[in-house]
Amino acid sequence: MKASANRGLLEGLLFFVVLGVIWEASVHVFDIKPYLLPAISDIADALWQSRAIIWENSLITLGEVLWGFLSAVVLGVLIAVLIYFVPLARRTLYPFMIALQSIPKIGLAPLIVVWFGYGLSSKVIMAFLFAFFPIVISTLGGLGGVPAHLEEHFRAMRASPWATFWRLRVPSALPNFVDGCKVAMPLAVIGAIVGEFVGSNDGLGNLILMATGSSQTALTFAALAAVTALSLALFYIIELLGRLVWWRSN
Amino acid sequence: MAAAGRNGIELAGVSKIFGQGESEVTALSDVSFSIRDSEFVSVIGPSGCGKSTLLRILAGLIPYERGSVQVAGEPVHGALDPVGVVFQTSNLLPWLNVEENLTLALRVNGSDASAEQRAAMLGTLGLTGFEKRYPHELSGGMRHRVAIGQALIRDPAVLLMDEPFGALDALTRDHLNMELLRIWQARKKTVVLITHSISEAVLLSDRVLVLSERPGRLIEDVSIDLPRPRDPSDTREDPRFGDYIVQLSELMGVR
Ligand SMILES: Nc1ncnc2c1ncn2[C@@H]1O[C@H](COP(=O)(O)OP(=O)(O)O)[C@@H](O)[C@H]1O
Ligand SMILES: [Mg+2]
C-alpha cells in the first residue's frame, strides 16, 4: 500500500518534470517570444524576483477566500437545516436558491463591485456566492440520506427530535458535507479571483491583470502558479480535516 | 387490558395494507391474539407473510388499518417506553464503537449504563475485549449480538425481537438462546420472538403462533408444554419436542 503510493507520487512527479523539460526546450528551440510564452526558468525567476509582491497578494486573496468559504459553510449549513426541517422554507427558500444558482455568478461580479466597492467585502461575497451552493446541496443530501431503518430504530428507542438530530442526522450528513466542502473550496478561490478581476487594487487576480497588461507574462504565470498553489493547499487542508469523518456509508 | 396482565399484549382484528390500488399489498389480515404478562411467545411463518410488519405494529412504528393493539395496558399509537425492539437488520451506528452502540438506547434518553452493567452485558454477549471496536471491524454475528445487547441493557418489560439469531452460527445461537431464557426468567419479561427456526421457537417458547402465507393470518396457536428450565440438549431429547417440531412443520407446509 505504502510502496505503491510512493511509486504513484514518484511517477506523477516524473511526469511533471518531463512536461517542464519539454516546455523549456520548445521555448528555446522554436524561439517563442517571452511575452507569449515564457520559459519555465523565466517563470521561476519571476517568482523569485517578485516573491514579496506575490506573497503579499496571496495573503490578501487567501483572506478573501477564507472569509467567503467560512461564511458559505455557516450560512449554507443553516439554510440547509432550515430547508430540511421547515416546510415553508422548502417551498420558498429552496426554489429561490436554485434560481439564484442559475444566474451566472461571473455576470454578477460587476454589480457586486458597484454595491460593495473595491475593498475586501466584494471579493468575500464573490467567494461566498461560488462556495455557497455546493455546501447547501451536499448538506441537504446528507440530512436526507439517513437510512430509513436507522430512523426507525431511533423512533423505536423513543429518541427525541433533538437527540435524533445530533446523534443520527448530523453524523450521517457529515461525509456528504465534507464532500461539499471539497467542491466549494476551489470554487471560493475562483470566486475571489473573479472579484479581483472585476474591481480591486490588490490580490493575485489583480496581479495577473497588471502583469498581463504590462506584458510581464512571466509574472502572470508566476501569479497563476501562486493561485494554483493556494487552491491546492486549501483543498488539502479540507482533505485532512475531512479524515476526522472517517465513517462512510458502507 | 386487564385480561393480558400488566405487561401483556392484546391484538384484536388487526389488518395491515401497504400501498394503494394496483400496488396494494395486504400484509396482515384480521390477526387477533393475546399474550400474557411474562409470557414467551414465538411467531413463525413463511418469508414475506408479515412477521416483521406485525412486530413493527406492536412496536408502534407503523399505523394499521383495522383493529386495535394494546401493549402493557396502553393503546399503541407510537413507540412505548416499556418496549425494547431488536430489528432483523442490526442497526449499529458506524461512528460509534461497541460500547457506545450498546448503551445508545439509554444515552439517547439521557441516561447511561454503569461500568458493571456494561461489562456484564459484554460478557453475556461474548464480546468482552471488543468494547472499543467499531462495527466495520466486527463480523456480522458480532454486530447482531451488539444489537441484541442494546435492547437488553435497557431491561425493557416487553421485548420484541425480529429474527435476532438468524445470522449466528449454531453454537453462538444455542448460547444466546439460553442467555435469553436466563434473562427472561430472572427479569420477568414479556417476549415476542420472530424466528424462522421451528426448533428455536419450540425450545424457547411457552406458545408458538403460526402465520399463513401472505396475507398473514393466524392459523394456529400452539402451547409448548415442555418443562422448564430448558436446555438445548436435554429439551431436544424430550419426545414431545419432536412431536411439536412435526406438528409445526406440517402447519408450515414443510412436510
Ligand atoms: N414499507 C412497505 N411498503 C410496502 N410493502 C411492504 C412494506 N413492508 C413490507 N411490505 C410487504 O409486506 C409483506 C410482509 O413483509 P414482512 O412483514 O417484512 O414479511 P416477513 O418479515 O414475514 O418476511 C411483504 O410482501 C412485503 O413486500
Ligand atoms: Mg421479516
Sheet with B25-35: strands ordered across: B25-35, B9-18, B66-71, B74-75
For chain B, the average pLDDT equals: 93
CA angle B167, B168, B170 (to 5 degrees): 135
For residues B132 and B203, state if they share a domain.
no
Q: How many CB atoms lie within 10 A of CB A12?
A: 10
Are the C-beta atoms of B61 and B43 separated by less than 8 Å? no
- How many structural domains is chain B composed of? 2
Helix axes A170-198, A51-85, angle to 10 degrees: 130
Question: What pLDDT sits at residue A78?
Answer: 97
Question: What pLDDT sits at residue B31?
Answer: 96
Tell me whether residue B4 is in a domain.
no
Give the single-character DSSP code of B168. Answer: S
Give me the mean pLDDT over the B147-160 stretch.
Answer: 94
User: Strand pairing partners for B116?
Assistant: none
For residues B178 and B243, state if they share a domain.
yes
- Of the candidates B116, B118, B126, B189, which has an alpha carbon nearest to the alpha carbon of residue B159? B189
- The closest-lying atom of ligand 1 relative to the alpha carbon of residue B162 is 21
pLDDT tens-digit readout, B201-234? 999 999 999 999 988 999 999 999 999 989 988 9
Secondary structure of residue B18 in the 3-state scheme: strand
Q: Minimum-distance ligand to the CA of B216?
A: 1
Does the beta carbon of B189 sit less than 6 angstroms from any atom of ligand 1? no
- Of the candidates B112, B154, B155, B148, which has an alpha carbon nearest to the alpha carbon of residue B127? B148
- Of the candidates A206, A64, A77, which has an alpha carbon nearest to the alpha carbon of residue A127? A64
Distance CA A216, CA A198 (A): 20
Does the beta carbon of B18 sit less than 6 angstroms from any atom of ligand 1? yes
Distance CA B9, CA B236 (A): 29
Q: State how far Cα B45 lies from the chain centre.
A: 14
Q: How many CB atoms lie within 10 A of CB A114?
A: 11
For residues B207 and B233, state if they share a domain.
yes
Question: What pLDDT sits at residue B255?
Answer: 52
For residues B170 and B185, state if they share a domain.
yes
> Is pTM beyond 0.80 here?
yes
What residue type is B244 in one-letter code?
Y
Give me the mean pLDDT over the B44-57 stretch.
Answer: 95
Question: What pLDDT sits at residue B4?
Answer: 66
Does the beta carbon of B214 sit less than 6 angstroms from any atom of ligand 1? yes
- Of the candidates B81, B90, B33, which has an alpha carbon nearest to the alpha carbon of residue B60? B81
- Of the candidates B209, B204, B196, which has an alpha carbon nearest to the alpha carbon of residue B176? B204
For residues B208 and B138, state if they share a domain.
no
Distance CA B171, CA A4 (A): 42
Q: State how far Cα B200 lies from the chain centre.
A: 12
Question: What pLDDT sits at residue B146?
Answer: 95
Q: Which of B101, B122, B152 is the last residue before a domain boundary? A: B152
Give me the mean pLDDT over the B5-32 stretch.
Answer: 93
Cell triple for B197: 427456526
Question: What pLDDT sits at residue A250?
Answer: 45
Tell me whether residue B3 is in a domain.
no
CATH number 1.10.3720.10 given to A39-249: yes
CA-nearest residue to A166 within chain B is B108
Tell me whether residue B62 is in a domain.
yes
For residues B77 and B168, state if they share a domain.
yes
pLDDT tens-digit readout, A177-205? 999 999 999 999 999 999 999 989 999 99
Question: Percent of chain A beyond pLDDT 90?
Answer: 89
- Residue A87, classified by CB atoms within 10 Å of its CB into exposed (0-12), middle (13-18) or buried (19+), is exposed
Question: What pLDDT sits at residue A137?
Answer: 95
CA-nearest residue to A171 within chain B is B95
Residue range of the domain that includes B226: 9-82+156-251
- The closest-lying atom of ligand 1 relative to the alpha carbon of residue B194 is 21
Question: What pLDDT sits at residue B5?
Answer: 76
Distance CA B44, CA B25 (A): 20
H or E element that contains A163: helix A161-164
pLDDT tens-digit readout, A100-129? 889 999 999 999 999 999 999 999 999 999
Q: Which of B119, B152, B185 is the last residue before a domain boundary? A: B152
Tell me whether residue B179 is in a domain.
yes
Does the beta carbon of B118 sit less than 6 angstroms from any atom of ligand 1? no
Are the C-beta atoms of A181 and A135 separated by less than 8 Å? yes
Helices vs. strands in chain B: H and E counts, helices first:
9, 10
For residues B160 and B77, state if they share a domain.
yes
For residues B125 and B212, state if they share a domain.
no
Q: How many CB atoms lie within 10 A of CB B27?
A: 24
- Residue A56, classified by CB atoms within 10 Å of its CB into exposed (0-12), middle (13-18) or buried (19+), is middle
Give the E-state strand segments of chain B in sequence order.
Answer: 9-18, 25-35, 40-44, 66-71, 74-75, 83-86, 158-162, 190-194, 207-211, 218-223
Write down the domain spans for chain A: 39-249
pLDDT tens-digit readout, A27-84? 999 999 988 999 999 999 999 999 999 999 999 999 999 999 999 999 999 999 999 9
For residues B160 and B230, state if they share a domain.
yes
Measured between beta carbons, which residues in chain B are less than 8 angstroms from residue A167? 93, 104, 107-108
For residues B71 and B167, state if they share a domain.
yes
Give me the mean pLDDT over the A135-159 stretch.
Answer: 95
Give me the mean pLDDT over the B35-42 stretch.
Answer: 97
- Residue A126, classified by CB atoms within 10 Å of its CB into exposed (0-12), middle (13-18) or buried (19+), is buried
Is 60 exceeded by the pLDDT of residue A1? no
Give me the mean pLDDT over the A84-88 stretch.
Answer: 96
Is 70 exceeded by the pLDDT of residue B72? yes
A150, A167, A250 ranked by CB distance to B108: nearest: A167
Give the Å distance between the CA of A134 and the centre of ligand 1. Answer: 37
Question: What pLDDT sits at residue B1?
Answer: 43
Q: Which of B152, B173, B201 is the last residue before a domain boundary? A: B152
Which residues lie below 8 Å from residue B74, measured CB to CB, with a gap of 6+?
A: B80
* Residue nearest to ligand 1 atom 25, measured at CA: B48
Q: Minimum-distance ligand to the CA of B44?
A: 1
Tell me whether residue B1 is in a domain.
no
Does the beta carbon of B55 sit less than 6 angstroms from any atom of ligand 1? no
A239 CB within 8 Å of a chain B CB: no
- CA-to-CA dists, residue A5 to A11, A121, A229, A239, B146, angstroms: 10, 42, 21, 17, 36
Spell out which residues have Cβ within 5 A of ligand 2, the ion. B 52
CB contact residues (below 8 A), chain B span 62-81, against chain A: 78-79, 81
Are the C-beta atoms of B151 and B193 separated by less than 8 Å? no
Q: Minimum-distance ligand to the CA of B166?
A: 2
Residue B228, domain CATH: 3.40.50.300
Across A208-217, A240-249, B128-137, least confident range: A240-249
For residues B180 and B61, state if they share a domain.
yes
Best residue for ligand 1 mutational test, from B24, B26, B31, B53 (most atoms within 8 Å of Cβ): B53
Q: What pairing do the DSSP bridges indicate for beta strands B74-75 and B66-71? A: antiparallel
A16 CB within 8 Å of a chain B CB: no
For residues B138 and B173, state if they share a domain.
no
Q: Do A167 and B87 touch (CB under 8 A)?
A: no
User: Strand pairing partners for B159?
Assistant: B84, B191
